[in-house]
Structure 1
Amino acid sequence: MGSASSPLLAVRDDEVEDEIAKRSCWMETRRELRLVWGIAGPAILTSVFQYTLGSVTQTLVGHIGTLELAAVGIQNLVIAGIGFGIMLGMGSALETLCGQAFGAGKPNMLGVYLQRSWIILLLTALVLSLTYIFASPILKFLGQSDEIAELAGKFSIWMIPELFAFAINFPIQKFLQAQSKVMAMAWISSVCLILHLFISWLFIIKLGMGLLGAAITLNFSWWILVAGQLGYVLSGCCKDSWTGFSWLAFRGLGAFFRLSVASAVMLCLEYWTLMVVIVLAGLLKNPEIAVDAASICMNVEGWCFMVPLGLVAAVSVRVSNELGAGHPKAARFSVLVVITISVLIQTTFMLIILLTKKDFPRLFTENELVMEKVSKIAYFLCASIFLGSIQPVLSGVAIGAGWQATVAYINLGCYYAVGLTIAILLGFKFNLGLEGIWGGVLIGILLQTIILIIVTWWTDWEKEAALANERVSIWEGSEVIAIHAGKS
Structure 2
Amino acid sequence: MASLEVEEKPLEVKQNTIWGESKKMWAIAGPAILVSVSQFSIGFVTVAFAGHLGELELAAVTITTNVIEGFVFGIMLGMGSALETLCGQAVGAGQHNMLGIYLQRSWIITGITALCLTPCYLLATPILNLLRQDKAMSELAGKYCKMVIPQFFAYAMNFPIQKFLQSQTKVWVMTIISIIGLGCHVLLNWALVTKLELGLLGAAMAGNISWWLQVIAMVIYVVAGFFPDSWTGLSLLAFKSLWGFVKLSLASAVMLCLELWYFTAIILMVGYLKDPTLAVDSISIWLVCHF
- TM normalised by structure 1 equals 0.58
Offset of residue 126 of structure 1: 0.3
Bigger mean CA deviation after superposition, 166-175 or 44-53: 44-53
Superposition RMSD in Å? 1.3
CA deviation after TM superposition for structure 1 residue 225, in Å: 0.8
AA partner of residue 126 (structure 1): L
Amino acid across the alignment from 2:259: E
Aligned residues: 291
Paired position in structure 2 for 1:178: 167
User: What is the CA distance between 1:17 and its match in structure 2?
Assistant: 4.5
Query: Which residue in 1 is equivalent to 2:192?
Result: 203
Aligned to 1:382: none
Check if 1:159 corresponds to 2:159.
Answer: no
Matched, 1:88 2:104: no
The higher radius of gyration belongs to 1
CA distance in 1, matches of 2:40, 2:97: 31
Residue by residue over 1:430-463, the C-alpha shift from the partner in whole angstroms, topping out at 9 and shown as x without a partner, is xxxxxxxxxxxxxxxxxxxxxxxxxxxxxxxxxx
> 1:93 and 1:30 mapped to 2: Cα distance?
30
Aligned partner of residue 132 in structure 2, secondary structure: coil
Where does residue 98 of structure 2 map in the other structure? Answer: 109
- The CA distance in 2 between the partners of 1:54 and 1:215, in whole Å, is 10
Deviations 1:397-440 (A, max 9, x none): xxxxxxxxxxxxxxxxxxxxxxxxxxxxxxxxxxxxxxxxxxxx
Cα distance in 2, alignment partners of residues 178 and 193 from structure 1? 23
Residues of 2 paired with 1:198 and 1:270: CA distance? 31
Give the structure 2 partner of residue 24 of structure 1.
13
Amino acid at match of 1:185: M
1:285 and 1:204 map into 2 onto residues whose CA distance is 30
Q: Distance in 1 between matches of 2:135 and 2:71?
A: 21
Match of residue 254 from structure 2 = 265
Q: Structure 1 residue 109: deviation in Å? A: 1.4
TM-score, normalising length: structure 2:
0.96
Q: Which residue of 1 aligns with 2:124?
A: 135
Calculate percent identity across the aligned residue pairs: 52
Aligned pairs (5 A) from 1:82-481: 82-302=71-291
Distance 1:39 1:233 in 2: 18
Q: Which amino acid aligns with 1:212?
A: L
Match of 2:176, SS state, is helix
**Which residue in 2 is equivalent to 1:41?**
30
Which structure 1 residue ranges, 5 or more long, are not aligned?
1-8, 303-488
Moved over 3 A (4+): 15-18
Q: Structure 2 stretches of 5 or more lacking a match?
A: none
Return the alpha-carbon distance in structure 2 between the equivalents of residues 63 and 229 of structure 1. Answer: 32
